[in-house]
């Protein structure tokens, strides 16, 4: 028998066909900040968005669990890194009551300045990012224990409730600054050096996530979570370890979101629960909207969705100021109502053969063989 399975000519599994896109993405990431130094922050956030979309799609697109609460891990990561970075040098409680006391004023930021040497800063941020990833990962099965009893819309609402509760809990926790937040350690270098440093972190975290997910989808794990999406009862009837897969899928999302939160918190410089750490109505919604726009349940869909969405967002902020939220809301509504399959889903319907959905005319099936003999 011919070994045709490997020969499926699907765009999403054929590495040679994807190579130009890998190169384009990598080249853009390296050259764009050099060509457009004024937009370095916007491009950095583009990478954050790509990471958001890809990590959401593991659960929402591939596994069919539409989480509205993924932003929770982002916020957890942010706070964990803050606690670790501050805690490595100072007592966190004293630091927050001194530096974070007066909310976000220039004076309070000034108190924070110069408190960390360059060595302390870099050492802190490395440990902070790692701890953020680890702790966020640990939270995934914990929340999963609670939420994976729910399915479909109930899971979505349950996860949303978690995302809405988290800032309230943090907000009433004075040790980490409560609603007043924490001033993050200040980068020791110049403004330009700082931008480049955080750009590289955002870019690197997105690329690592991209590669990891690419690998993940080449393993049995992908088919198992696809099976859970298509029919969870049937997956159970087959003996698939469904809960184990669900927990791992969420933990993977949580790990990268935690890291992303740590980077973003440091980039912002000042974190507080509602607007920065757990921004449910902005980042929390973007995470869902981007994969939907690009085509959920595909590999490139979320990446493409993040790029298109981010560009649309930046354009509306520039040219439709005052109406930017209306325009963005329209984009989301149009996607959800009229364009559910997203860009990649649409492409797959339009050109199924490019995605390996073909009838193998050359092969004889058993029945034709029987008839022929």
**Which residues make beta-bridge pairs with 10?**
355
Task: Tokens for 45, please give them.
Answer: 């956030």
Stretch that binds other proteins, among 85-93, 125-133, 195-203, 235-243 (CB under 8 A): 235-243
Specify burial of residue 121 (Cβ count, 10 A radius: 0-12, 13-18, 19+): buried
Among the listed residues 91, 168, 192, 360, the single contact to other proteins using CB under 8 A? 360
Stretch that binds other proteins, among 18-26, 85-93, 123-131, 220-228 (CB under 8 A): 220-228
Stretch that binds other proteins, among 188-196, 200-208, 219-227, 261-269 (CB under 8 A): 219-227
Stretch that binds other proteins, among 160-168, 189-197, 239-247, 270-278 (CB under 8 A): 239-247
CB 225 within 8 A of CB 63: yes
Q: Which helix (H) or strand (E) holds 319?
A: helix 300-319
Does 211 bind other proteins (CB under 8 A)? Our answer is: no
- DSSP sequence for 44-90: HHHHHHHHHHHHHHIIIIIS----S-THHHHHHHHHHHHHHHHHTTS
Among the listed residues 28, 39, 122, 221, the single contact to other proteins using CB under 8 A? 221
Does 248 bind other proteins (CB under 8 A)? Our answer is: yes
Among the listed residues 15, 91, 231, 275, the single contact to other proteins using CB under 8 A? 231
Does 223 bind other proteins (CB under 8 A)? Our answer is: yes
Stretch that binds other proteins, among 14-22, 152-160, 197-205, 238-246 (CB under 8 A): 238-246
Collapsed DSSP state (helix, strand, coil) of residue 270: strand
Closest to other proteins by CB, 119 or 365: 365
Specify burial of residue 299 (Cβ count, 10 A radius: 0-12, 13-18, 19+): buried
Smallest gap, in angstroms, from Cβ of residue 14 to other proteins? 14
Smallest gap, in angstroms, from Cβ of residue 235 to other proteins? 8
Query: Could you give the string, one character per residue 252-291, with x where binding to other proteins holds by CB under 8 A and - elsewhere?
Result: ----------------------------------------
Does 226 bind other proteins (CB under 8 A)? Our answer is: yes
Task: Tokens for 75, please give them.
Answer: 């916020």
Residues in 287-326 that interact with other proteins by CB under 8 A: 297
Nearest to 32 by CA among 20, 49, 44: 44
**Cβ contacts of residue 310 below 8 Å, gap of 6+?**
42, 45, 46, 49, 290
Closest to other proteins by CB, 35 or 237: 237
Smallest gap, in angstroms, from Cβ of residue 237 to other proteins? 6
Nearest to 13 by CA among 205, 207, 223, 208: 223
Buried b (16+ CB within 10 A) or exposed e, 326-361: ebbeebbeebeeeeebbbbbebbeeeeebbbeeeee
**Which residues make beta-bridge pairs with 183?**
270
Contacts to other proteins by CB under 8 A: 1, 3-6, 8, 216, 218-221, 223-224, 226-227, 229-231, 233-242, 244-245, 248, 297, 356-361, 363-367
């Amino acid at each position: 028998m011919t070994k045709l399975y490997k020969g499926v000519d699907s765009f999403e599994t054929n590495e040679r066909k994807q190579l130009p896109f890998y190169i384009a993405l990598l080249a853009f990431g390296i050259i764009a900040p050099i060509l457009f130094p004024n937009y370095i922050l916007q491009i950095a956030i583009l990478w954050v968005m790509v990471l958001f979309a890809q990590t959401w799609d593991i659960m929402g697109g591939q596994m069919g669990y539409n989480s509205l609460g993924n932003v929770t891990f982002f916020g957890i990561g942010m706070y964990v890194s803050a606690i670790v970075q501050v805690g490595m040098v100072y007592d966190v409680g004293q630091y927050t009551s001194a530096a974070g006391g007066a909310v976000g004023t220039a004076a309070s930021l000034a108190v924070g300045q110069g408190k960390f040497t360059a060595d302390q800063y870099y050492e802190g941020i490395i440990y902070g990012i790692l701890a953020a990833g680890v702790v966020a990962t640990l939270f995934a099965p914990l929340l999963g224990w609670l939420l994976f009893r729910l399915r479909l819309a109930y899971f979505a609402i349950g996860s949303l409730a978690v995302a809405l509760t988290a800032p309230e809990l943090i907000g009433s926790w004075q040790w980490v600054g409560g609603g007043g937040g924490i001033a993050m350690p200040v980068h020791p270098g110049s403004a330009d050096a700082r931008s480049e440093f955080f750009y590289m972190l955002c870019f690197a975290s997105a690329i690592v996530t991209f590669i990891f997910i690419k690998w993940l989808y080449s393993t049995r794990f992908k088919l198992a979570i696809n099976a859970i999406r298509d029919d969870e009862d049937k997956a159970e009837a087959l003996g698939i370890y469904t809960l184990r897969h669900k927990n791992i899928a969420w933990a993977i999302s949580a790990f990268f979101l935690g890291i992303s939160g740590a980077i973003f918190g440091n980039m912002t410089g000042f974190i507080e629960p509602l607007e920065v750490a757990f921004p449910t109505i902005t980042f929390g919604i973007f995470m869902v909207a981007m994969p939907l726009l690009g085509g959920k349940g595909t590999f490139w869909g979320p990446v493409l969705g993040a790029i298109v969405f981010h560009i649309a967002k930046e354009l509306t902020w520039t040219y439709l100021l005052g109406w930017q939220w209306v325009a963005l809301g329209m984009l989301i509504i149009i996607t959800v109502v009229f364009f559910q399959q997203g860009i990649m889903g649409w492409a797959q319907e339009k050109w199924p053969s490019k995605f390996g959905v073909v009838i193998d005319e050359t092969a004889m099936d058993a029945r034709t063989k029987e008839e022929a003999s």
